[in-house]
Amino acid sequence: MTITRIGAGPRMSKAVIHGNTVYLAGQVADAAKGKSVGEQTKDILQQIDAILAEAGTDKTKILSTNIWLADISTFAEMNAEWDAWIVPGSTPARATVESKLAAPIYTVEIMMTVAR
């Protein structure tokens, strides 16, 4: 089974494809960093759409998702964006917990395993 890396930097790759499974790095906001949890979530989900397209797949094939919130009291705010984005009937196994992230400007991080 071949390994294909997308956006392979010196520290990590954006995504790694192994056979029919795609592992995405934990994504944090780019344009929306420092903004609200809702705006960061929307930004992250747009980035994920782009990475999934590059990997030859899409959001209907997500297998598993981990979400970290710097403050778990923002759970509903994150979910509002998630629920608007995810495709009903094609939802992944998911876990959401609270953890501080790499820098205070980041309040949401999302990591996924996806089929292709």
**Nearest Cα residue to 67 out of 36, 107, 30:** 107
End-to-end CA distance of the chain: 14
What contacts 83, CB < 8 A, 6 or more positions away? none
**Which residues, 19 to 58, sit near a second copy by CB under 8 A?**
19-21, 23-26
Report yes or no: 108 and 9 within 8 Å, Cβ to Cβ.
no
Give whichever of 5 and 33 is closer to a second copy, judged by the CB atom: 5
Which of 15, 37, 44, 52 is the binder for a second copy (CB under 8 A)? 15
The answer to whether residue 90 forms part of the interface with a second copy (CB under 8 A) is: yes
Residues forming beta bridges with residue 96, ordered by sequence position: 67
Span of 32-40, 41-49, 67-75 interacting with a second copy by CB under 8 A: 67-75
The Cα 85–Cα 34 span in angstroms is 21
Min dist. Cβ of residue 78 to a second copy (A)? 11
Give whichever of 46 and 96 is closer to a second copy, judged by the CB atom: 96
Which of 31, 34, 50, 98 is the binder for a second copy (CB under 8 A)? 98
The answer to whether residue 84 forms part of the interface with a second copy (CB under 8 A) is: no
- For the record, the structure tokens of 37 come out as 């949890």
